[in-house]
Structure 1
Amino acid sequence: MTFETLELKREGFLATVTLNRPDVRNAFNETTIAELTQVFQSLDSGPSVRVVVLAANGPAFCAGADLNWMKKMADYTYEENLADAGQLAAMLSAIYHCSKPVIARVQGDCYAGGMGLLAACDIAVSADTSNFCLSEVKLGLIPATISPYVIRAMGEQAARRYFVTAERFSAQQAKACGLIHELVTPELLDEKVTELVRQISANSPNAVMQAKRLVQTVAGQTLTPELVAATVKGIAEIRASDEGREGVRSFLEKRKPGWLS
């Protein structure tokens, strides 16, 4: 696949998707949205990929919406805005529902719609010099389409503040509210991401996919008999799977499992 606004690199089990519009701080437009949707849908079904890293070139991770794209949107009708927002929602869904774990490598500032990209990922590693902002209300807008992901990632209480203040906050504050998992100096960013990729790649590919789906299914649900029954079914199915059986056997036999051979 070739792209106008992205780079895609494959190394063994790892696929790295890199935002490549550094001249506009990786702000996205309709082309970026379409390309991100396409690449994540493709990686979702790619059997050789176990981990995806979402990265960016240049000093910023993502500044949100491109200004020229915003100029076009200023004259959109309600129906056109509805269709446009639907494409953004599809992109975020493609990242969030990708069956492979997605690690965000945040090397610089992340604002507005860029926060949606970050929040749709499973794991977020950031340079400690990055800044974050949900700036929509400054423009008379709200972070509606990204809100399901951002609120899940940072929690309701933090969202109540940052949605309405539109203030810039530090990487340290982002980690404190749970938006960022790991905070490192810029020089150690690649090392930390590589460490996480190796840890994930050492695990059962099927179990990793099912574990990701498990979190999405169980999180926020009421503890009902139906939910308990679903988890009972889940462990029974994974125990009976080929990788489940191989993993237990290899542990008992004190050898490496087949997926590491």
Structure 2
Amino acid sequence: MKIARLGEQGREIPVVIAADSNGAEQHFDARPVTAEIDGVFLANGGLATLRAALDAGTLPVLENAAELRIGSPVARPNNVICIGMNYAAHAAESGAEPPTIPVVFLKPNNTVAGPYDASPIPPLAAKYDWEVELGVVVGREVSYLSSVEEAASAVAGYVAANDLSEREYQLPGAAGQWTKGKSLPKSTPLGPWLIPASEVDANKLQLKSWVNGEIRQDSNTADLIFDVPTVIHHLSQYMVLEPGDVILTGTPEGVALSGRFPYIQDGDVVELEIEGLGRQRQEFFRAGTTKEA
């Protein structure tokens, strides 16, 4: 079962993508169950309710689904929480030692975008970078968890994510700060789907990214330094995780920061894919031009 949100920004329709009685994949309108895929929906057992409605055949087919924009599969979360340098090879290409405890930073929730939305390069940016990441969607309120084992039950599902980053703002520039480099408009494309946690083995998912058709990243979540339950348990000691929050678990090696590839330029196309979670595609343009959409 794939959960999506289709339509123009701010007016997306919740949709379930699944096989119909003939085995053909269909887009089913989820509005008989919920008006939105958000924290309230997830906290109240919404995914199970959608599954039951789908099995009962009470969700109508959304006939014009192929004509609609694909939005983020989760409505704007309260928090986007990120784990830095969570793959040893990426830490090395960044010039850092692998961390011994999770590195945590936040992105503003207004950076969330659809997986195919045109993506603006900031007007003064010279080092805009891509990062394919496994995104974790929180399904219940979490605080001060007593064990890593308990943390696994807090996951509602998983999404593909691109943690776009301006490295000059983030690292070596004047007053370089991670927040500055990670807060830019539409810099967190999510989707195309949310897949329920029960249908995903997050410990062995292949992650890939391409720029203009050339492979950049090719790794596996088996190489995460801190796996998903460990990350959730750690975060719960420092903050309250709320239903609908999104955790980005870090990116593998193969980004432009490595020095092996050029940074994103006007007109570039970045694609990324996570096994079972779908594929994204962003065409980049310099902010202030007429390409914005």
Normalising by structure 1, report the TM-score. 0.27
Normalising by structure 2, report the TM-score. 0.25
Structure with bigger strand share is: 2
Structure with bigger helix share is: 1
Bigger Rg, which one: 1
